């Protein structure tokens, strides 16, 4: 398994990707460091796991898109990144458990704010639901960005690739949707992902929430 991970890291490192080089990424992966997951003392279930309404915060690592495909784990048991040479930033997530808390079987398990802070200092922020269902896409609102992400599309798509034995999530994030930064209906641009974007009806600006 260790040799497989080393070969995977070498293969990914050989693939050129946009990031920290003056252009925004069209997609990237997130690996949670479960050792940094902290939640409130209440409310919890009898087994101590978070119940509905429990507040939490957690952090992890950003990787180039595709790094975590095929069930690859992005963190080691001690919380270190599995592929330190591939880390492109830090992920911070805070929010509240909804549904049936940690016992949720399908649908939204948490409502969160996610901050993606890239190695070059650029920041992207999103808000919305996160699903417990692996392989299912959920759309989140982009509520802020700096640097290369100052004009990010108004939406991102998130897919949970899976969870580690310790409940650490692995996510794939893809930027998309129509830009809410457009000045008027005549101003149509294209995001680097190749998806056409343009002004949103009855909206002239994109304000951080």
Domains held by the chain: number: 1
Q: Is residue 144 part of a domain?
A: yes
**In a domain? residue 3:** no
Taking only the tens place, the pLDDT of each residue in 67-115 is 999 999 999 999 999 999 999 999 999 999 999 999 999 999 999 999 9
For residues 160 and 162, give the distance between their C-alpha atoms in angstroms, rounded to a whole number: 5
In a domain, 49, yes or no: yes
**For residue 205, pLDDT beyond 70:** no
Q: Is residue 152 part of a domain?
A: yes
Query: Does residue 83 lie within any of the structural domains?
Result: yes
In a domain, 196, yes or no: no
pLDDT at 56 over 90: yes
Of the given ranges (25-34, 76-85, 142-151, 194-203), which has the lowest mean pLDDT?
Answer: 194-203
Q: Tell me what pLDDT residue 154 has.
A: 95
Predicted structure pTM score: 0.76
CATH number at residue 58: 2.40.480.10
**Cα–Cα distance, 69 to 29 (Å, whole number):** 9
Mean pLDDT to the nearest integer, 41-59: 98
Question: pLDDT tier at 165 (50, 70, 90 boundaries)?
Answer: confident
Supply the pLDDT for residue 100.
Answer: 98
Whether 192 shows a pLDDT value over 90: the answer reads no
Structural domain of residue 56, as residue ranges? 25-178
Contacts of 54 (CB under 8 A, 6+ apart): 39, 40, 42, 43, 44, 96, 97, 101
Asked whether residue 183 is domain-assigned, the answer is no
Q: Tell me what pLDDT residue 18 has.
A: 41
Amino acid 164: pLDDT: 80
Nearest to 112 by CA among 152, 54, 71, 68: 54
Q: Is there a domain that residue 162 lies in?
A: yes
Compute the radius of gyration of the chain from its Cα atoms: 18
Nearest to 166 by CA among 77, 104, 39: 77
Over range 170-183, report the average pLDDT.
66
């Amino acid at each position: 398994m260790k040799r497989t991970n080393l070969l995977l890291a070498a293969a990914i490192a050989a693939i050129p990707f946009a990031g920290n080089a003056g252009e925004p990424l069209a997609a990237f992966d997130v690996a949670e460091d479960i050792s940094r997951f902290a939640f409130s003392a209440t409310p919890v279930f009898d087994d101590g796991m978070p119940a509905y309404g429990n507040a939490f915060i957690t952090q992890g690592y950003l990787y180039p898109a595709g790094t975590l495909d095929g069930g690859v784990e992005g963190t080691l048991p001690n919380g270190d990144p599995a592929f330190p040479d591939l880390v492109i930033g830090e992920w911070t997530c805070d929010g509240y458990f909804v549904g049936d808390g940690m016992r949720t079987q399908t649908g939204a398990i948490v409502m969160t704010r996610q901050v993606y802070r890239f190695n070059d200092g650029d920041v992207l922020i999103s808000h919305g639901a996160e699903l417990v269902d692996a392989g299912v896409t959920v759309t989140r609102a982009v509520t802020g960005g700096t640097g290369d992400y100052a004009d990010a599309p108004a939406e991102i798509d998130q897919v949970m690739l899976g969870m580690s034995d310790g409940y650490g999530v692995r996510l794939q994030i893809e930027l998309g949707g129509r830009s809410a930064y457009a000045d008027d209906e005549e101003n149509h641009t294209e995001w680097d992902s190749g998806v056409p974007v343009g002004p949103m009806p009855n909206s002239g600006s994109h304000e951080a929430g």
